[in-house]
Structure 1
Amino acid sequence: MYRLLIADDEALEREGLELLIDRKMPNTFKVFQASNGRQAIELAEEYRPDIVLMDIKMPGIQGLEALKQIKAIDHRIKMVLITAYDYFSYAQEAVSIGVKDYLLKPAKREQVVGTLTKLLQELEEERAKRSHELGVEETLAELIPVVESELAMMLMFNQVQEVDVNRLAQIANFSVRRGYSMIVYLAETYTHEEEKKKLHDELKNMLKTVTRCLVSPLLQNEIAIFIPVTDQYDPKQSEGFRMKINRFIEGRFGLSVRVEIGAVQIGLPGLQKSYQDAKQSLLPAEHQEADKPQTIIEKAQSFVNQHYAEDVSMEQVAEWVNLSSYYFSKVFKSESGQTFTDYLTEVRMEKAKQFISNMELSLKEICFLVGYKDPNYFSRAFKRYTGMTPTDYRNLM
């Protein structure tokens, strides 16, 4: 129900309006009554009505002044003046404070109902708009961390020439004229995946509270951080961040990590170069080489080699190596020279060729053993790969 405040110094007027509204618009309003301007303001502050019907002439605080104060309480309140006088003599002032309409005493039923119906429609539209805006805000709040991760990985995997990189930066509200990169690297011996994820999440939350930055996903043992700087940047700032990160991780997790810093560079392409500088600093240390796209591909290939008989999807493997499917696809093709689908097919077909040499296995059994559910589809895929059907291939044995 909507909340309606009727303010009039005449009790009969208030009661008459409430009775009329209740009869003509049943179960629509919860009605509050005020006999003077001060009481109307107090009720508005307490109950936040959706609509106020205010008599222009009342003892104490006059109607227009009361409406001004009510408007200050909540600008969304719809206000209607009730008057027995010439409305046009104060119309300009009424409009200036947001009065939506007026009712001349004695108000006709059709006018009262028509005015309230129009205001109800406005309220419904405003509620729908607010609901939509809240939905958009919630969706955006959920989307932004994903966009930030994608943008960070673009910088890590040298994809800054992509057309959509600037669009992603816009969505993430990450405009950077100058900036630098940091890499937080965990020792290879620290292999507890749940603890590493917890460390990543808490470090990201901490960094977001102290500076505007992009934080990459945890790619096995590496977290990349991209930080914009102003013209007043002092190198002591980045050293301060390095110390803060070390203290935070040591204090929260009892771990010593390695933090490398790249040089300050210009724009998004510069951030990618800064990341490569920081990455290069990691290479000389024994047993502390951070993950590179190639090691990620090797991990993906190992997963396929172990699970080729199952219903393996690119999305599943991308999640396994902590990349989005979009970037996993690009990195896999770039580093291996073939698409993920082609690699999966190759593994399955090579396994199928091995199984076909075992005469005790039927071709249907082999189909299922290498991850296919439809023998006909398996046969077509095998022929595309080898140039002959499984039966022809077996006959050559």
Structure 2
Amino acid sequence: MCRVLIVDDEPIAVESVVYMIKKNFDNIDIVGTSRSGKDAIEKSYNLHPDIIIMDINMPGINGLDAMKQIRMVNQNVYFIVITAFDYFDYAVESVALGVEEYLLKPVKEAKFIETLKKVMDQISTKKINLKKNLEQQERLEMIIPILETGFMNSLCMYGDNTKELQNYCDLFGYNKSSGYVMAIEFGQKQSKKIENKIGAGVQGEKMYEEYKKIIRSYCTCIVGPIMLNQIIVYVFDDSMEENFEQKSKSVRLAKNIMDRASKLYPDIFIGIGGFHTSIREAKKSYQEALYALRILSASEEDENNQYQILHIDDNLEKVEYTESDYEHQIEDEIFSKVAEGDEGTIQMSFKQLYTRMCADNKMNFTAVKNRMIGMIIGFGKRWGDILGDYYELLSDIINAYDEDNLYQICKGHISQILHKITFSRQNKVNSIIEKANQYIEDHYKEEISLEDVAKEVNLSSYYFSRFYKEETGINFTDKLSNVRIEKAKELLKDKNLSIKDVCFMVGYMEPNYFSKIFKKVTGYTASDYKRLYG
């Protein structure tokens, strides 16, 4: 049924149109009539007609102005103008408003019927097309999750699936496939550890659709299905920003997602893989994101709840990706635990893995040797600059005479490797802390922020805040205050400088705030200190 509103200030004209419609159409519902432009606007808002038959010359708001206002609200309404004014300007403006037909009074019944049928056919075609589009969209909505699952399967499986991944990107309409992987994990925490994965997965499953909406509201991405207690997200990013800026943007995105998603489920952890320009590198980004999650799961409690996000570039060890079955186990059970720095745990994992290899009927002693060589080369790929020349070790492995001898050789060298890595990592930590402290010393007079120092040492601000506190025992704000107050104590000894002068010279803009911090750090007011030592 088509809904029609008739607008004309002449009653006889309205009656004529009503008569012709009722005589020739049984599928039209005349929902109302109006005698002014103002009334027509109000009724169109309330009655939602499909067609408005409109006169132009009416008292108050004329037909053209009424059509403009109606069109602003209802883009789909069809207008048929019936008027006594054969003005070219009126006709031109009517065409601009999308009027279907401009008829002159007195309109002939045959012409009116022909016009109305044409408009109704257009409405019918439009409704049919809309229905088809909705059906296609509904089918597409059913297919998209299948395609997304297929993409994630190709991403997570071993082997070179680059062509499959690119085909999926093409199906989704993403011409540029550059981006990175974000792994989101739900945990039930005790002391900030990720625990009870099955229970967390059940809770996450209930809210999965809500999580998808949140994630997609922030970025262009493919969201995989929830697997146990994880959601893998491939974020498309075609920006050409520098590494630090790109990393900072990805961490901000993760924080935005976590802030909203944690309202549904509070214990959320997010690992972020490295950015790449080719879909070929997506698997590496995926492994890096999972690696970042493993580091988070091993982390200690963070009172500020900031250490629930980790970008792989904020990890201090280089990470590579290898593929075969035992290589994957070595990656998962040995390499990934190096960041924890617990030699006992790593040696236990190595012993269990080595025992499984030796018990494998498909592997003889030579095959086990080859795997051990692969493991040492894996260490070399990741930490070669730390380990130096390890070819003597490879020679020892090749010349091992039985399984126990091979185990003792590898166990001893793993211990040496871990000590070297720990020592190197501590040097890197010290270097970062020194660089951060030097930046504070050089810029304490300025309005420097946590973000400024984090950028200087190439860490995200979220990670740097926690890292600095953990390594130095003091947070960034207190460190900056201490440096400024130490400088202020020296300056206050100068009798030519006032407290206000000193305040500005050490980077504070407000003397009252300076005095408050000074007393907090030294136990003295600035004036007392100056009187005693100035």
- The TM-score normalised by the length of structure 2 is 0.46
Task: Give distance in 2, aligned partners of 1:182 and 1:156.
Answer: 12
The verdict on how the C-alpha distance between 1:180 and 1:105 changes in structure 2, with shifts beyond 3 A counting, is closer
**Who is 2:39 aligned against?**
39
Matches within 5 A, 1:12-161: 12-86=12-86, 88=88, 90-158=90-158, 161=161
Q: Is the 8 A contact 1:6 1:14 kept in 2?
A: yes
Amino acid at match of 1:26: D
Amino acid at match of 1:91: A
**CA drift at 1:44:** 1.8
**CA drift at 1:117:** 0.8
**Who is 1:176 aligned against?**
177
Post-superposition Cα deviations, 1:179-207, rounded to whole Å, max 9, x if no partner, equal 24537487796445744634766655554
**Who is 1:346 aligned against?**
none
**Who is 2:404 aligned against?**
none
Q: Is the 8 A contact 1:180 1:275 kept in 2?
A: yes
Task: Give distance in 2, aligned partners of 1:249 and 1:127.
Answer: 39
Task: Give distance in 2, aligned partners of 1:83 and 1:113.
Answer: 16
The verdict on how the C-alpha distance between 1:10 and 1:159 changes in structure 2, with shifts beyond 3 A counting, is farther
**Who is 2:276 aligned against?**
265
Which of 274, 286, 291 aligns to 2:285? It is 274
SS of aligned partner of 1:64: helix
**Who is 2:431 aligned against?**
none
Q: Is the 8 A contact 1:212 1:228 kept in 2?
A: yes
Post-superposition Cα deviations, 1:273-303, rounded to whole Å, max 9, x if no partner, equal 222344567899999xxxx9979xxxxxxxx
**Greater RCO (CA < 8 Å, at least 6 residues apart):** 1
The verdict on how the C-alpha distance between 1:98 and 1:267 changes in structure 2, with shifts beyond 3 A counting, is same
List gaps (5 residues or longer) in structure 2: 188-193, 299-322, 327-534
The verdict on how the C-alpha distance between 1:181 and 1:25 changes in structure 2, with shifts beyond 3 A counting, is closer
Amino acid at match of 2:22: D
**Who is 2:523 aligned against?**
none
Q: Is the 8 A contact 1:5 1:51 kept in 2?
A: yes
SS of aligned partner of 2:225: coil
Q: Which protein shows a greater Rg? A: 2
The verdict on how the C-alpha distance between 1:212 and 1:57 changes in structure 2, with shifts beyond 3 A counting, is closer
SS of aligned partner of 2:274: coil
**CA drift at 1:116:** 0.8
**CA drift at 1:220:** 4.5
Task: Give distance in 1, aligned partners of 2:296 and 2:71.
Answer: 67
**CA drift at 1:14:** 0.7
Post-superposition Cα deviations, 1:4-33, rounded to whole Å, max 9, x if no partner, equal 121122111211220221121124222421
Which of 191, 211, 215 aligns to 2:223? It is 215
Q: Is the 8 A contact 2:178 2:275 kept in 1?
A: no
Give the superposed CA RMSD: 4.0
Task: Give distance in 1, aligned partners of 2:325 and 2:27.
Answer: 67
SS of aligned partner of 1:99: coil
Task: Give distance in 1, aligned partners of 2:297 and 2:7.
Answer: 81
**Who is 2:235 aligned against?**
227
Post-superposition Cα deviations, 1:150-175, rounded to whole Å, max 9, x if no partner, equal 21221112566454533422443554
Q: Is the 8 A contact 1:149 1:214 kept in 2?
A: no
SS of aligned partner of 2:177: coil
Structure 2 residue 208 is matched with structure 1 residue 197: no
The verdict on how the C-alpha distance between 1:281 and 1:79 changes in structure 2, with shifts beyond 3 A counting, is closer
SS of aligned partner of 2:153: helix
The verdict on how the C-alpha distance between 1:260 and 1:43 changes in structure 2, with shifts beyond 3 A counting, is closer
- The TM-score normalised by the length of structure 1 is 0.59
Task: Give distance in 1, aligned partners of 2:265 and 2:68.
Answer: 57
Amino acid at match of 1:102: Y
Post-superposition Cα deviations, 1:17-67, rounded to whole Å, max 9, x if no partner, equal 202211211242224211122222222222222112222322223333332
Residue identity over aligned pairs, in percent, reads 27
How many pairs align?
290
Structure with more of its chain in helix, by fraction: 2
Q: Is the 8 A contact 1:7 1:55 kept in 2?
A: yes
